[in-house]
Every structure is written in C-alpha cells, then in structure tokens.
Amino acid sequence: MNLKAFASLLPLAALTLAPLGAAQVQAAPPVSKPLPVGTCINLGNTLEPEREGSWGGVPVREEDLQRIAAAGFKTIRLPVRWHNKSSDKPPYTVDPAWMDRVQQIVDWALAAKLNVILNSHHFDPIHDDPLAVAAWHGGVWKQIAERFKGYPEDTLWFELENEPHKNFNHTNLLQTLAPALAEVRKLHPTRAVIIGGENWSGIKSLETLPLPEDPNIHPTFHYYDPFLYTHQGAEWTKPDMPPVGREFPTAGDTAQLAKDVASIQAYVARTGKTPFMGEVGAYDKFIPLADRVKYHRTIAEAFAPTGIGMCMWAYTNTFPFFDHDKGEWLPGLRGAIGLKDDTVAPPAPARAAAPARAAPSSSSKSKLPPELAAFDDQVPGDLINDPTRIDWDSYGPAFNAGGRQAADIPGGGAARVFTVAERGDFPYRAAANIPLLDGIASGEQVTVGFYARTVSTERSDGKGVVSLRFQENVAPYAGFGDTAVLIGSEWQWYEVTATADRRIRKSDALVTLQLAGAKQVLEIGQAIVVKNAATIQTTQTAAAPALKDAAGIEMPDAIRTLGQLVNDPVSRSWGNGGEGGTWEGLDVPEIWLQKATRFTSPKVGENRWDLVTGIPILPDVKEGDSFVAVVIARTISAQTDDGMGLVYARLQSGTPPYEGFGDKAFKLGNKWQMIKLPFTVTRGFGAGDANVTLHFAGAAQTIEVGPVYVFKTN
C-alpha cells in the first residue's frame, strides 16, 4: 500500500518513533471535570511587581473584592511575586509580613464568595536556571501550603508558576515543578493545582504541555493574540515592540481565532482535560476603549462554545476594567464578557477612509520617467524602481560595497560587490537600499527580483544569505515581507513577493537588502521591483528560497496544523558536509515529495557531526520562539547493538562557531518513520542563519532522510 494512505493515522507525540504503517487510532480519554473558574479577573500589577504598587498600581482593598463579586465575577487570580520576598538559602524563609498580606487578600476574596487562584508570578530566577532554582521554589511553596492548610479546596486553588519561558520549557517543566508539587501534596493531596506550559503559556504551549498523573492537575494557557494588536506600543516588549496602529480583527485574525478555538476542543478530546484561559487582554495606552470592548467581546464569544473559564487582565492598574481614579467600571467591558452591565461602551473613534486606488496601469506609469516606460511594458505588473541603476545607498561597519563590470554578469553586465568582513549581531548591520519610485498601499502585492551569486561565505552550506524586506526609510523603519534568501555560487535570478500590511509613502519607500547575516562576499546585479504581480521572470530554472504556504506543499495531513511553515521542504539545498562519510540524492516515489538523501558513515566518527546536514530556517528566529522539525527518515543499515540507526539533532547557527541548543537524539528502524523534534529558542538568529542540523557520525550506519518540514508553533 502507498505510504501516503496512512497520513490520517500518524501519531502526534513530540517524538514519534513507531513505523508509519504501525500507527494506531486510540480511543479518546474520558473528559474530567473542569475547574469551575467561570468569569474571572486578575488582580494585576498589585502583588507581582517588585513591591506592592511599585508599577504605578493601587494596593488592593477589601472593598475591591466586594466590588468584583458584586459585578458578577466568580473567581479572582492573585499574581504574587515570591522570590524577592524569600531567602534563596534553605529553609527559603518567606518574609512573614508578605505572607500575612497575601493571606489577607485571599481571606477578603473568600469572604466575598469568590474563588481564588493563588500563584507564583515572576519568580525570575527559575526561568534562567530552572533545575538549580527548583529547590528554592519548592521551599517557598512549602510555606504557602502550610499557611493555607485547612482552607476550602473547592474555592482556593494553587498555580505553581506563571508563564514558564526562556530556559524553563517543556523538557524540564515537570522536573522543575516537582519539589513544589511534592510540598503542596503533603498537606493538600486533592486541592486543584494549575500548571501552564512553556513560552509564556501561549495557546500553542498546550501542544507540548506535560502533566503529571494526577486527577487534580488542571492545565492553563494565556491568550494575547494577535500579539501585534494587544501589545502595540507596550514599552516592556522592546526591542520587538509592536508598532502602534494595528487594528482588530483582520480577516487573518478571524481565521486564526477559529483555529485556536478548534485547538482547545481538540486538546480536550485528546487529553480529557479542560484548560482555562488564565490571562486575556489588550493594552489600554494605545487601544481605544471601544476597541478593547470589541476585542474582549470577540474573544469571549469565540471561545464560549468550548465552555472554558476566562480570566481578564486586569481589574485595575494595567489593561484595566475598573477606573480607580473615577471609582467606576469602564463602560462596556463587563457586558463584552457576558456580565450584567448598565454602562454603554463609547463609540469607536472615526478613522479616515482609505484612499481609493487608481487603476494600476495608469497610476504607476504616470510616475515613471519616460525612459523607463518601455522597460515597464516588458515586465508584468507595474514597475516601481529604476532597474538601470545599482548605485544603491549602503552602510555598515566592516563592510565594503564596490562594483564590477563584465559581460558574464546577467541583466546588464554590472554588479555591486558587497564584502562583509564579519557577521553582525543583526542582518541589518550592513545593508543596501533600493529606492522606489512609487508608494505602496496596504494590501498591495509587491515583488522584487534580482541577479546574484556568492563569491565566498563562512556558512557551512556554501551559500550566502540576504535578508530582504520592503521598508519605509524613516524611524522606526517599519516594513513587511521579511524573507531570507540563500544565494548560490552561480549567477541566478531570485524573487521575493509579499503583500503589504501597511501604507508606505513614495518618499520613504525602499527595498532593503540586509547583508550582515554572515561573513561573506556577494555580487548582486540588476534588481527589478514591481507591484501587482506575483512573479517577474517565470522562466527561471530555480526560485529563491522563501516562505511557502503549507497548504500547497505535499505532506502528511496530520502535521499541517502544527504552525507556520518556515523552511522550503521542496528544496534539497541542505548544508551536507563533513569528512566522516558520504551523501547522495535519491528518488523515492513512495514518500512525500519523492526525494531523499542517503547519508553513509562507514565508522563511528571522532565527533558525531563529522557527517552532518543542515536544513535552513528562512525567517529570523527570536528568543522564546518555538519550532517543531518533522523529519521523515529510515535506517538502511546500522552497526549498533539493536540494529537501529542513531541520529543526533540540534538547532544551531549556520556560521562559525555554530552556536546552538536543544540537542536531541533519536533512533530509526528500517521502515520510514516520522520524527517530531520540538525546539524552544534560547538565543536569536538572523534570517537564514538558523538550521535544524542532523548528525550521523554517532554510529557506523546508512540513513536515508526524506522530506523535512519545520514549523513555527507560536
């Protein structure tokens, strides 16, 4: 039988080792009783800052809890910072006055007939060095457990740690939380304990969230999606602060929200546990109240069919529902989440109507110099640059931009020679800017194409890298279409197409070629930029590596919903290398994409990377990002004790000294298998610099690797 027939049966475990044809459909687990969170609100920026009220907040008073209960909320979530109120040495004593204050607020809430989620929030050291801090964290929870011994189990619940991130991820989560859970269970054997997943507990964290075998453990996730909307202008997110002006919902937002709701329903069906939304909100500084009301209503209505509880961020102080200065609830927000509300939300602020677009055929031509009109007739769409010029502005340290003329240079017989003497911290440390002759409207499709070749590079795959974006040449240099293009050693035509998500004025519009992604020498020749065309030259033999839509790529159906595809599975231009063996390409009709590469290591290498390949990730990679690499492979022969192949994997830079993380190992049998390798990023990489690497010299063996799909999952 054709292997593809088994696609719908493929398991979804983090590291799947069973042969594809052996996958079994298991009965869904029974759904356990969810935690009755109901409509909930966080007491944000109260007990989790450095000290109570230090972030411009207002200390909690008993009347606040009474007001929250009277408004119809069923639960409060009480975020508490403990690490700065306790000793980091045994017995990890918590400041008694601080413990008394926490208990006071819990008592006020319970007296008001509210449920309470008491958590550990911003226990900063545990995210940097999880296992080393686990004992301290557990020692604090021992004291919390002792203080609240005898409190009612049906109304007071413990959340062990808020938003694991950085080095605190799914691979060490249970081991890190084990001391705290053990201390809680000594005195509270059946009290509800809440655990959230990695990468700030976003909704995608549920896919990798491990839970102990304990019927009273409850999963949680946070929802600030789309982040570019909810955190626009939020200073604490620098240097990646979302720009102000993003609206909600776009068509893409609506589609993603439907997928997120479906993912919760799928999680319940798969695990039998119902999570709750521990935080949701939108930053009030730059988002008008009417828009915040719309956001909360949209999210609440979308998730209503799942029956999950939802905790708003927050009561007051940040993302507020209540105005402490005026002593009143903000109009419309309570009604947006289904509570009784006698206030009226303010009208949405008026926005200028988008200018009508003139017909492309006339608008662009009228902006071109007469000498370019004939050239415009030869290309699809509307020409918006001068392809006869390559004297682009360039800048950057350890960077030189020269020129060369020769008949062998395609396009016009001339090229810019860019010498990057050292890799920059960011690709834009050295760049060249192609000016545009027309502005770009939001929603317009723009394509840039250019001839280029790599003269030399430090990358292990022998390719140069250009990080390309359409951008405005004025601070904060907003842009779109960020794409890493890997440049081969022979002259070739490369293209990148993107749809504008913003308007860029004619005077500010450019295409920037960011070149500091590697120590390299590149030659870049004629460049052409057009609007309203998806391609410029359709006859080229090879296309530039770029992000592709997973829907258009042949792959197992079971992995299509993992996230955004960030590599080019069709391309076999991998970084094969090493003196410890050989590799050869194969046609394999029975697997997806019908191609494989055979790696043969005749003996155990001195280093496991003596025979290696690297699969490039095209966009930039930021700390905290989560990825899953799906590798389809099999063993032809292996001189190991069990006869199975042994492959090591990691996510690393493609340039010396090849820094990386997430080292893993997996075994392969003699049938095609699908391996899922999750990675959480602990350091950033520029576009095109990150690779999923596979090492084969850990055994004398022959391994065949079929398609590899890499997904960004958050």
What does the DSSP 8-state code read for residue 535? -
Which pLDDT value is given to residue 161? 98
CA distance 248 to 243: 14
Q: How many CA atoms lie within 13 A of 277 on its CB side?
A: 29
Q: How far is CA 409 from CA 452, 453, 490, 523, 548, in A?
A: 9, 10, 10, 9, 29
Which pLDDT value is given to residue 152? 97
CATH topology for 552-712 is Jelly Rolls (2.60.120)
Instruction: Indicate whether 551 pLDDT > 70.
Output: no
Instruction: Indicate whether 24 pLDDT > 70.
Output: no
Question: In terms of residues, how long is the chain?
Answer: 714
**What band does 357 get if pLDDT is binned at 50, 70 and 90?**
very low
**What band does 257 get if pLDDT is binned at 50, 70 and 90?**
very high
Which pLDDT value is given to residue 17? 32
Interval 49-76 mean pLDDT: 90
C-beta of residue 54 within 8 angstroms of C-beta of residue 87:
no
Mean pLDDT of the chain: 86
Q: Do the bridges between strand 156-159 and strand 193-196 make them parallel or antiparallel, or are there none, so unpaired?
A: parallel
C-beta of residue 620 within 8 angstroms of C-beta of residue 712:
no
C-beta of residue 257 within 8 angstroms of C-beta of residue 15:
no
The CATH number of the structural domain formed by 360-546 is 2.60.120.260
Strand order in the sheet with 690-695: 612-616, 690-695, 645-653, 660-668
Instruction: Indicate whether 26 pLDDT > 70.
Output: no
401 vs 705, which has greater pLDDT? 705
Region for residue 269 given its phi and psi (left: phi exceeds 0; alpha: psi -120 to 50; beta: otherwise): alpha
600 vs 379, which has greater pLDDT? 600
CA distance 514 to 371: 29
Interval 253-265 mean pLDDT: 90
Q: Domain ranges in the chain?
A: 39-336, 360-546, 552-712
The 10 Å CB-count burial string (b at 16+, else e) for 38-71 is: bbbbbbbbbbbbeebeeeebbebeeebbbbbbeb
Under DSSP, is residue 479 helix (H, G, I), strand (E, B) or coil? strand
Which pLDDT value is given to residue 98? 96
Q: Is the peptide bond before 545 cis (omega within 30 degrees of 0)?
A: no
Under DSSP, is residue 62 helix (H, G, I), strand (E, B) or coil? helix
Structure confidence by residue, pLDDT tens digits, 429-485: 888 999 999 888 887 889 999 999 999 988 877 888 898 889 988 777 788 888 878
Q: Which amino acid, one-letter code, is at 314?
A: A
**What band does 315 get if pLDDT is binned at 50, 70 and 90?**
very high
Instruction: Indicate whether 18 pLDDT > 50.
Output: no
| Alpha-carbon Rg for the chain in angstroms | 28
588 vs 186, which has greater pLDDT? 186
Q: How far is CA 127 from CA 134, 222, 545, in A?
A: 10, 17, 35
Structure confidence by residue, pLDDT tens digits, 513-527: 999 888 999 999 989
274 vs 15, which has greater pLDDT? 274
Lowest mean pLDDT among 38-47, 52-61, 109-118, 153-162: 52-61
Backbone torsions φ then ψ of 97, nearest 5 degrees: -65, -35
Q: Is the pTM of this model over 0.75?
A: no
Instruction: Indicate whether 594 pLDDT > 90.
Output: no
Correct CATH for 39-336 of 3.40.605.10, 3.20.20.80, 3.40.50.300, 3.40.50.1970 = 3.20.20.80
Query: Token pair 């687990």 is at which residue?
Result: 29
222 vs 690, which has greater pLDDT? 222
Query: Pick from 250, 257, 194: which is nearest to 224 by CA?
Result: 257
CA distance 280 to 47: 18
Question: First and final CA of the chain: distance in angstroms?
Answer: 36
Instruction: Indicate whether 707 pLDDT > 90.
Output: yes
Which pLDDT value is given to residue 99? 97
Q: Where are the alpha helices (DSSP H) in 305-459?
A: 333-336, 360-366, 370-378
Instruction: Assess whether the region 39-336 and the region 552-712 belong to the same CATH fold.
Output: no
Instruction: Indicate whether 4 pLDDT > 60.
Output: no
